[in-house]
């Protein structure tokens, strides 16, 4: 595994509340010193993410976020530096098609090699790479640059060397991963649910994404 | 005219003339309050922020809650109305203001009921002074109704020792609204709590242009006090005369019962206020400016703190770089946690033995800086010098995710019952001294570096020392680990009644078990844990 500058095995936490969060993944956490300058996420990035994930943009980008920290900005900042060409092409494409395609169709367009064929396989160009990497950040709080290259060797040209590996963006990104909400659950050591919640059925999925139309 | 009739007539004349000279209290019951307060603040706590007319951005909401916290702070610290010598009402005085008596007076919140008085089987009337322990009366007479005893920080983290080697003392009080709620439901008894089958919903305050007395909703307060010595300037503090009582064999066997009559200086205040826009409550905390140095200032000065007198940090004992063996900080005092133990009493200068050497890991929040600046300006403009200019808001924690209904009660989203609070972590250096979050250079128990994103840092205001009243100064970038770093609402969300049902963020309800027979306690605990559902192990 190629590591970005300043990140080595020593940054992997092996104990404590934070350490256990990452043991399963075995991934390093990006140091603040290595974090790129925060870029303000354009609305199109949030809308594309909404189409890819099936979650309403109002749930992804709430008006008021804890500590005024925008996860959209955090993810956008990473992909802006980690796959800029793919990101720009994806946004440009979105602007062309967003008025005539549904979110489902946009998702298929960015993820499938042939959006008209359900078994067409993954889209392997820069747009496909950017789409997958964006989704995975929202879902897991992890940049999967290394995994992307392993499964899609063509993506090597889309991802600069510093981002050609997998790492956790931040503990906040890990905790805020949508995968936990899809599971109506929470990561170890972090929960917005109260003591004793395990004795009750989990909250309804709709409660986790009040702005999203669920089927 | 008969003598009787003349007496009746003259009595009537006297009464009529008295009524003409009385202030028209019915029309404006807080007239004195109005004239003696800083212009921009109410003398009564408001029920809520004006949620409807506050822009729904982070900056606007956080500032609204910070101002709300300051209004609470000033209103609750207002001199209480004295109706007879030594008898006070839980409302602001119409004679005195916040500049009264150089900060030494009974404040409104000090008329509220203490937790040990509220959660006992025989509920006293609201306003009844606490029982004075016999040893205090025997040793010092009936000098003051105030008793400070608690010295363990939340979750039995340990005591914190001040620079004069006394433990900081705490007390917790509840307002009338909370008292009435407890009384109506018999929450002061285990049987009363057992009969409750749903989560507690404490009274909630609603915004009003002109707040009314006793209409603010539920308010609970925790205060931290320093025993003032000849080395302290008492006029820098809000200060009161109080017994400092130490209970026998608590928290450990061997603690001797004792009682001293001391002057206590307020060094920290938590104000917790339930409002319509914040069903998870609004959590604000204030500190005295001289409690402890700031970590960022120490690091800027090459690892050595400024040589000045802090309440909780002795610069003379820091003989090396901060964090080295010669300058430990934020240390829980060694056992035994006994205020009468050596070397606390002998004053032996061995920080390795008695601790605590508290350092603040981060500055106040950004909105808090602005609110502090505004409050201090208003105080100076309205009243000149007061002790209150020495206190600052550290930060305020409010829910960012509820189901809003304008200025009416917001609903709790069941997927986010804690409300995704902001600021995520919140600490008072005198009350959550040892769970302030991680700082640069910290490592896990396995020796691995704490991720940078989890550090509690001071940021902004390049080159500036921390100044809680500087709007453009350094402020906190919050970071920490849940269940490890202090979060008011994160921890209080675990609060439950004796039957395991959610007590609405109020821990003190559990203390009813203390007042029952020990054997019965054990039986009750077994009963609750054997139910297996939400009971604590």
CB contact under 8 A, A16 and B421: no
How far apart are the C-alpha atoms of B98 and B111, rounded to whole Å? 16
Instruction: Tell me whether residues B493 and A195 touch, CB distance under 8 A.
Output: yes
pLDDT at B440: 80
Angle in degrees, CA A153, A154, A159, rounded to 5: 90
What are phi and psi for residue B478, nearest 5 degrees? -70, 145
pLDDT digits (tens, 9 = 90+) for B191-233: 999 999 999 999 999 998 888 877 899 999 999 999 999 999 9
Q: What pLDDT is attached to residue A24? A: 40
Residue A207 to residue B414, Cβ atoms within 8 A: yes
Which residues of A fall within a CB distance of 8 Å from B504? none
Regarding predicted confidence, which is higher, B264 or B483? B264
Under 8 Å between Cβ of A111 and A52 = yes
Q: Quick one: average pLDDT of A105-113?
A: 93
Residue A40 lies in a domain: yes
Strand intervals (E) in B452-512: 457-459, 475-477
The backbone region for B500, taken as left when phi is positive above 0, alpha when psi lies in -120 to 50, beta otherwise, is: left
Query: Which are the contacts of B174, defined by CB distance < 8 A and separation ≥ 6?
Result: B112, B113, B115, B118, B182, B218, B219, B220, B221, B508
Q: Which positions in chain A touch B448 (Cβ < 8 Å)?
A: 10-15, 19
Residue of B nearest to A196 (CA): B534
Closest by Cβ to B453, choosing from A32, A191, A204: A32
Using the 8-state DSSP alphabet, how is residue A97 labeled?
H
pLDDT surpassing 90 at residue A196: no
Length of chain A as a residue count: 215
Instruction: Please indicate whether, in this complex, the C-beta atoms of B58 and A11 are within 8 angstroms of each other.
Output: no
Residues in Cβ contact with B47 at an 8 Å cutoff, skipping those fewer than 6 apart = B204, B205, B206, B207, B208, B211, B215, B216, B217, B275, B276
Number of Cβ pairs closer than 8 Å across A and B?
A: 129
B16-25, B168-177, B522-531: which range is least confident on average? B16-25
Most confident of B17-21, B254-258, B343-347: B254-258
What's the pLDDT at B171?
94
Q: Is residue A1 part of a domain?
A: no
Residue whose C-alpha is closest to residue B316's, from B438, B225, B231: B231
For chain A, how many structural domains are there in total?
1
| B422 touches A at CB < 8 Å | yes
Considering only A2-11, B189-198, B251-260, B434-443, which range has the smallest mean pLDDT? A2-11
Q: Residue A107: is its pLDDT beyond 80?
A: yes
Does residue A39 form part of some domain?
yes
Work out the number of other CB atoms within 10 angstroms of the CB of residue A117: 10
What tokens appear for B215 in the block? 């209409």
A66/B contact by beta carbon, under 8 A: yes
Q: What is the pLDDT of residue B14?
A: 40
Burial classification of residue B200, based on how many CB atoms lie within 10 Å of its CB (0-12 exposed, 13-18 middle, 19 or more buried)? buried
Q: How far is B424 from chain A (nearest CA, A)?
A: 7
C-alpha count within 13 angstroms, C-beta hemisphere, residue B231: 11
Confidence band (pLDDT; 50, 70, 90) for A28? Answer: confident
Q: How would residue A32 be classed by pLDDT, with cut points 50, 70 and 90?
A: low
**Residue A79 belongs to domain spanning:** 9-208
What pLDDT, on the 0 to 100 scale, is given for residue B255?
87
Distance CA(A80)–CA(A134), nearest Å, equals 10
Assess if residue A43 is contained within a domain.
Answer: yes
A181 and B401 within 8 Å at the Cβ level: the answer is: no
Out of A121-130, A186-195, B447-456, give the one with best mean pLDDT: A121-130
- Residues in chain B with CB shorter than 8 Å from the CB of A60 are none
Nearest CA in chain B to A208: B415
The residue with greater pLDDT, B432 or B23, is B432
Q: Residue A65: closest CA among chain B residues belongs to which residue?
A: B400
Average pLDDT for residues B418-440, to the nearest whole number?
Answer: 93
Q: Is A8 on the interface with B (CB under 8 A)?
A: no
Taking the CA atoms of residue B47, residue B51, residue B57 and residue B60 in that order, the dihedral angle to the nearest 10 degrees is: -50
Residues of chain B contacting residue A141, judged by C-beta atoms under 8 Å apart? none
Residue in B with minimal Cα distance to A13: B448
Q: Is the peptide bond before B419 cis (omega within 30 degrees of 0)?
A: no
Mean pLDDT check: name the lowest of A4-18, A101-115, B520-534: A4-18
CA distance B117 to B55: 41
The confidence band for B283, taking pLDDT boundaries of 50, 70 and 90, is very high
From chain B, the residues in CB contact with A29 under 8 A are: 451, 453
* B129 to A53, A108, A150, A193, B136: CA distances (angstroms): 60, 71, 73, 38, 14
d(CA B371, CA B269): 16
Mean pLDDT across the stretch A34-53? 93
Average pLDDT of the residues of chain B? 85
State the pairing for strand pair B80-84/B147-148.
Answer: unpaired
Task: For residue B309, give the 3-state DSSP assignment.
Answer: strand
Q: What is the mean pLDDT of residues B70-93?
A: 93
Q: Would you say B490 and B399 are in contact if contact means Cβ atoms under 8 Å apart?
A: no
pTM of the full structure: 0.89
Contact A17 B452 (CB under 8 A): no
Minimal-distance CA residue of chain B relative to A33: B452
Q: With an 8 Å Cβ cutoff, is B72 touching chain A?
A: no
A147 occurs within a structural domain? yes
Which structure tokens are listed for A195?
Answer: 């003591």
Query: Closest by alpha carbon to A110, among A173, A60, A47?
Result: A47
A4 inside domain: no
Interface touch A171/B451, C-beta < 8 Å: yes
Which residue is it, tokens 């503090």? Answer: B237
- DSSP conformational letter for B373: H
Q: Which of A170, A193, A210 sits opposite B451 (nearest CB)?
A: A170
**Quick check: B17 pLDDT over 50?**
no
pLDDT at B33: 66
Q: Does B59 touch chain A (CB under 8 A)?
A: yes
**Distance of alpha carbon A185 from alpha carbon A26, whole angstroms:** 21
Longest Cα separation, chain B: 99
pLDDT > 90 fraction of chain B, expressed in percent and rounded: 57
Give, in degrees to the nearest 5, the angle at Cα A57 between A51 and A61. Answer: 135
Return left, alpha or beta for B434; rule: phi > 0 is left, psi -120 to 50 is alpha, else beta: alpha
Mark yes or no for CB contact A16/B451 under 8 Å. Answer: no
The DSSP secondary-structure symbol of B394 reads E
Chain-chain contact of B448 with A19 (C-beta, under 8 angstroms): yes
Q: What percent of chain B has pLDDT over 70?
A: 86
Q: Alpha-carbon distance A49 to B284, whole Å?
A: 36
Q: Are strands B147-148 and B239-246 parallel, antiparallel or unpaired?
A: parallel
- In the predicted model, what is the mean pLDDT of residues B55-84? 96
Let me know: does B358 contact B329? Beta carbons within 8 Å: yes
Spatial contact of B257 and B210, defined as CB atoms under 8 Å apart: no
């Amino acid at each position: 595994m190629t590591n970005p500058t300043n990140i080595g095995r020593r940054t992997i936490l092996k104990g404590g509340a934070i350490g256990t969060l990452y043991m399963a993944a075995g991934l390093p956490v990006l140091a603040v010193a290595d974090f790129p300058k925060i870029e303000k996420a354009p609305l199109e990035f949030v809308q594309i993410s909404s189409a890819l994930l099936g979650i309403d943009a109002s749930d992804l980008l709430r008006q008021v976020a804890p500590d005024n920290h925008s996860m959209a900005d955090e993810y956008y900042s990473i992909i802006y530096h980690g796959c800029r060409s793919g990101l720009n092409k994806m946004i440009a494409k979105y602007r062309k098609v967003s008025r005539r395609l549904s979110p489902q169709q946009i998702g298929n367009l960015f993820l499938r090699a042939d959006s008209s064929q359900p078994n067409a396989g993954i889209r392997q160009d820069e747009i496909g790479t950017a789409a997958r990497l964006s989704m995975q950040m929202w879902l897991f709080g992890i940049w999967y640059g290394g995994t992307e290259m392993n499964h899609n060797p063509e993506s090597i040209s889309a991802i600069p060397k510093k981002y050609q590996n997998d790492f956790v963006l931040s503990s906040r990104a890990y905790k805020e991963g949508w995968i936990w909400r899809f599971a109506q659950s929470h990561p170890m050591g972090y929960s917005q649910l109260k003591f004793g919640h395990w004795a009750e059925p989990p909250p309804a999925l709709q409660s986790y994404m009040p702005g999203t139309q669920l089927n | 005219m008969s003598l009787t009739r003349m007496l009746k007539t003259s009595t009537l004349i006297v009464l009529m003339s008295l009524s003409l000279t009385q202030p028209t209290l019915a029309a404006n019951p807080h007239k004195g309050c109005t004239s003696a307060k800083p212009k921009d603040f109410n003398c009564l706590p408001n029920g809520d922020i004006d949620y409807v007319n506050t822009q729904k951005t982070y900056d606007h909401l956080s500032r609204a809650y910070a101002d709300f916290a300051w209004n609470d702070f000033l209103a609750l610290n207002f001199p209480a109305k004295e109706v007879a010598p030594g008898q006070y009402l839980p409302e602001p005085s119409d004679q005195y203001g916040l500049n009264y008596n150089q900060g030494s007076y009974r404040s409104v919140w000090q008329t509220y009921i203490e937790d040990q008085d509220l959660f006992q089987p025989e509920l006293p009337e609201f306003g009844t002074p606490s029982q004075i322990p016999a040893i205090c009366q025997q040793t010092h007479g009936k000098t003051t109704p105030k008793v400070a005893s608690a010295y363990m920080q939340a979750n039995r983290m340990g005591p914190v020792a001040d620079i004069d080697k006394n433990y900081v003392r705490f007390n917790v009080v509840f307002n009338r609204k909370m008292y009435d709620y407890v009384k109506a439901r018999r929450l002061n008894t285990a049987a009363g709590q057992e009969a409750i089958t749903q989560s507690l919903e404490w009274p909630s305050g609603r915004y009003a242009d002109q707040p009314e007395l006793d209409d603010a909703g539920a308010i609970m307060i925790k205060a931290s006090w320093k025993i003032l010595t000849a080395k302290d300037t008492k006029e820098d503090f809000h200060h009161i005369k109080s017994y400092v009582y130490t209970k026998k064999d608590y928290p450990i066997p061997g603690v001797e019962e004792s009682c001293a009559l001391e002057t206590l200086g307020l060094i920290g205040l938590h104000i917790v206020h339930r409002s319509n826009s914040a069903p998870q409550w609004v959590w604000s905390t204030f500190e005295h400016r001289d409690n402890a140095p700031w970590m960022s200032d120490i690091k800027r000065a090459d690892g050595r703190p400024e040589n000045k007198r802090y309440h909780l940090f002795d610069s003379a004992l820091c003989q090396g770089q901060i964090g080295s063996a010669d300058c430990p900080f934020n240390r829980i005092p060694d056992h035994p946690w006994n205020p009468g133990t050596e070397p606390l009493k002998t004053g032996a200068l061995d920080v390795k033995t008695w601790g605590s050497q508290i350092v603040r890991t981060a500055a106040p929040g950004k909105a808090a800086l602005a609110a502090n600046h505004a409050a201090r300006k208003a105080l100076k403009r309205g009243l000149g010098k007061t002790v209150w200019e020495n206190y600052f808001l550290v930060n305020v924690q409010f829910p960012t995710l509820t189901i809003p209904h304008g200025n009416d009660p917001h609903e709790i989203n069941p997927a986010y019952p804690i409300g995704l609070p902001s600021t995520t972590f919140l600490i008072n250096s005198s009350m959550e001294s040892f769970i302030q979050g991680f700082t640069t250079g910290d490592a896990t128990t396995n020796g691995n570096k704490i991720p940078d994103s989890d550090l509690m840092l001071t940021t902004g205001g390049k080159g500036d020392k921390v100044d809680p009243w500087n709007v453009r100064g350094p402020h906190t970038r919050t970071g920490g680990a849940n269940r490890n770093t202090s979060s008011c609402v994160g921890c209080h969300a675990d609060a439950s009644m004796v039957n395991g049902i959610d007590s609405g963020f109020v821990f003190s309800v559990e203390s009813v078990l203390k007042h029952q027979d020990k054997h019965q306690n054990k039986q009750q605990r077994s009963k609750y844990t054997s139910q297996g559902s939400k009971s604590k192990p």
